[in-house]
């Protein structure tokens, strides 16, 4: 089949706009008439710097990112960020705690303080107060929570909520906020805004985590790997947001971090490796150090400029398509999800939507198909017949089975409509 015959609903890497790929194929051979391709130019070249700066600027425009945020391009994927967030946010917590203790000790600086006193007080604070809170609402936040326990020791992690406790051991709901057990002064409250495997999306920013009128609130970190660029987000409520590029932004190979500058130097330098070792806390590998990446405008080491270029081209296309930026894309994303969910709801004896209605993802639509009490056989037939008409990539994640339609930004409205028609026709037949 040709590219034009297929609507690909795979969960990631996802479909990229054809026009972006056509231009990219030229850029790979000869970028801006230099005779060299974009993947061959030095990451130290002006071309690279321009691509990074333009992508940052367009992302800022598209999402209305406030000025007091920095944008980092990193490697290691969403999984790398499960680790990076732990290292960096624990470091930031130690820096804040150290400032508090120095004040109590009446010292102007770390050097001036009695080192033994300082380390003893800090160690005590680490042992009794340091906590990382996780809202576990699906497979990806579970992985992040487990990684924090692996890096730090489970005694430092707090499972503030776990969806499985309110849904018969399975993901698919988000427990009521009043039941969340948040720690006092957590190093971060972490959650995954859209759970790709389980089809669960936070309907909005959690009320309990909204900062007060002075802007004071918990340190909130969110994984938006699978729903970024698809709806407006209140960036100012977050300390950090991260996402792999490969679903809604671009190709696999770069991960974006949007981080509040108050977590970076000069406001918040990371503690020295020597101090972290004395406290028994881990020191980040340098490629995962946000302050190192920020200081070098994402070019501490060789970055895949090609992948940043692709992300930049996708952003350019989004900005050209939607004069009202992310709000425009949000309206389309909502409409596409609505069409597909409506088709599923029209045949309740055939389709069962997996997550609870209150937390249904607009991006990853997870459902089961059963006819004559046969789910496995019916789903196999559903996938086969869908593929035959060019609707591909619909198989659910291997850990949960079923069907999953990943309805990312590059799926056109007509593609969502084609799937909805197929869902209707399959049930009627
Ligand atoms: N977070 C979410 C929400 C994801 O969907 C994924 C991958 O699909 C990841 C994290 C892991 O990303 P990566 O494969 O880039 O490490």
Instruction: Tell me how far apart the alpha carbons of residues 248 and 407 are, in angstroms, rounded to a whole number.
Output: 10
What's this model's pTM, rounded to 2 decimal places?
Answer: 0.98
- Residue 403 φ then ψ, to 5°: -115, 140
Give me the pLDDT at residue 1, please.
86
Rounded to the nearest angstrom, the distance between the alpha carbon of 247 and the centre of ligand 1 is: 9
Q: Above 90 in pLDDT, residue 215?
A: no
Give me the pLDDT at residue 312, please.
98
Q: Above 90 in pLDDT, residue 294?
A: yes
Ligand 1 within 6 A of CB of 244? yes
Mutate to test the pocket of ligand 1, among 140, 171, 194 (most ligand atoms within 8 A of CB): 140
Partners of residue 353 on adjacent β-strands: 367
End-to-end CA distance of the chain, in Å?
25
Instruction: Tell me how far apart the alpha carbons of residues 231 and 202 are, in angstroms, rounded to a whole number.
Output: 12
Rounded to the nearest angstrom, the distance between the alpha carbon of 101 and the centre of ligand 1 is: 38
Q: Is the Cβ–Cβ distance between 59 and 120 less than 8 Å?
A: no
Instruction: Tell me how far apart the alpha carbons of residues 184 and 187 are, in angstroms, rounded to a whole number.
Output: 9
Cβ count within 10 A of residue 39 = 15
Mutate to test the pocket of ligand 1, among 10, 11, 79, 408 (most ligand atoms within 8 A of CB): 79
Ligand 1 atom with the shortest distance to the CA of 12: 8
For 17-44, what is each residue's pLDDT tens digit? 999 999 999 999 999 999 999 999 999 9
For 115-146, what is each residue's pLDDT tens digit? 999 999 999 999 999 999 999 999 999 999 99
Give me the pLDDT at residue 339, please.
98
Domains of the chain: 7-13+322-428 (3.90.1150.10), 55-307 (3.40.640.10)
For 351-407, what is each residue's pLDDT tens digit? 999 999 999 999 999 999 999 999 999 999 999 999 999 999 999 999 999 999 999
Give me the pLDDT at residue 242, please.
98
- pLDDT bin (cut points 50, 70, 90) of residue 255 is very high
- pLDDT bin (cut points 50, 70, 90) of residue 268 is very high
Q: Is the Cβ–Cβ distance between 254 and 122 less than 8 Å?
A: no
SS3 assignment for the chain: CCHHHCEECCCCCCCCCHHHHHHHHHHHHCHHHCCCCCCCCCCCCHHHHHHHHHHHHHHHHHHCCCCCEEEEEECCHHHHHHHHHHHHHHHHHHHHHHHHHHHHHCCCCCCCCCHHHHHHHHHHHHHHHCCEEEEECCHHHHHHHHHHHHHHCHHHEEEEEEHHHHCCCCCCCCCCHHHCCCCCCCCEEEEECEECCCCEECCCCCHHHCCCCCCCCCCEEEECCCCCCCCCCCHHHCCEEEEECCCCCCCCCCEEEEEEHHHCCCCCCCCCHHHHHHCCCCCCCHHHCHHHHHHCCCCCCCCCHHHHHHHHHHHHHHHHHCCCCHHHHHHHHHHHHHHHHHHHHCCCCCEEECCCHHHECCCEEEEEECECCECHHHHHHHHHHHHHCCEECCECCCCCCCEEEECCCCCCHHHHHHHHHHHHHHHHC
Mutate to test the pocket of ligand 1, among 196, 254, 408 (most ligand atoms within 8 A of CB): 196
Burial class (CB in 10 A: 0-12, 13-18, 19+), 429: exposed
Q: State percent of the chain over pLDDT 70.
A: 100
Give me the pLDDT at residue 102, please.
96
Give me the pLDDT at residue 7, please.
96
For this complex, say whether ipTM is above 0.95. Answer: yes
Ligand 1 within 6 A of CB of 138? no
Rounded to the nearest angstrom, the distance between the alpha carbon of 79 and the centre of ligand 1 is: 6
């Amino acid at each position: 089949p040709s590219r034009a015959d297929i609507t690909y609903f795979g969960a990631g890497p996802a479909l990229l706009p054809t026009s972006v790929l056509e231009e990219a194929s030229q850029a790979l051979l000869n970028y801006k008439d230099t005779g060299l391709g974009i993947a061959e130019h030095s990451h130290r070249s002006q071309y690279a710097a321009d691509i990074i700066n333009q992508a940052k600027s367009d992302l800022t425009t598209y999402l209305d990112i406030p000025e007091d945020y920095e944008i980092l391009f990193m490697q290691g994927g969403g999984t790398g960020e499960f680790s990076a967030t732990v290292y960096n946010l624990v470091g930031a917590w130690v820096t804040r705690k150290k400032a508090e203790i120095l004040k109590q000790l009446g010292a102007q600086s770390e050097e001036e303080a009695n080192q033994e006193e300082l380390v003893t007080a800090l160690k005590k604070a680490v042992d009794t107060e340091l906590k990382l809170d996780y809202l576990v609402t699906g497979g990806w936040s579970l992985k992040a929570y487990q990684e924090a326990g692996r890096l730090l020791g489970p005694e430092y992690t707090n499972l503030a909520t776990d969806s499985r406790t309110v849904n018969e051991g399975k993901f698919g709901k988000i427990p009521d906020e009043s039941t969340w057990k948040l720690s006092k002064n957590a190093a971060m409250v972490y959650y995954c805004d859209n759970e790709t495997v389980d089809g669960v999306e936070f309907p909005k920013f959690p009320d309990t985590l909204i900062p007060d009128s002075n802007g004071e609130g918990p340190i909130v970190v969110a994984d938006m790997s699978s729903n970024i660029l698809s709806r407006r987000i209140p960036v100012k409520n977050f300390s950090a947001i991260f996402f792999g590029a490969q679903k809604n932004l671009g190709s696999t190979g770069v991960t974006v971090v949007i981080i509040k500058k108050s977590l970076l130097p000069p406001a918040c330098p990371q503690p020295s490796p020597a101090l972290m070792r004395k406290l028994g806390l881990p020191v980040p590998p340098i490629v995962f150090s946000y302050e190192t990446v920020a200081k070098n405008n994402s070019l501490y080491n060789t970055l895949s400029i090609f992948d940043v270029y692709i992300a930049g081209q996708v952003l350019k296309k989004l900005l050209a398509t939607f004069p009202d930026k992310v709000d425009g894309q949000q309206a389309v994303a909502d409409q596409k999800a609505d069409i597909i969910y409506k088709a599923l709801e029209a045949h309740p004896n055939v389709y069962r939507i997996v997550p609870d209605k209150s937390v249904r993802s607009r991006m990853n639509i997870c459902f089961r198909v059963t006819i004559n009490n046969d789910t496995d056989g019916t789903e196999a037939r559903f996938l086969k017949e869908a593929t035959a008409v060019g609707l591909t990539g619909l198989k659910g994640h291997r850990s949960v089975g079923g069907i999953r339609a990943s309805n990312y930004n590059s799926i056109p409205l007509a593609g969502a409509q084609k799937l909805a028609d197929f869902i209707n026709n399959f049930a009627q037949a």
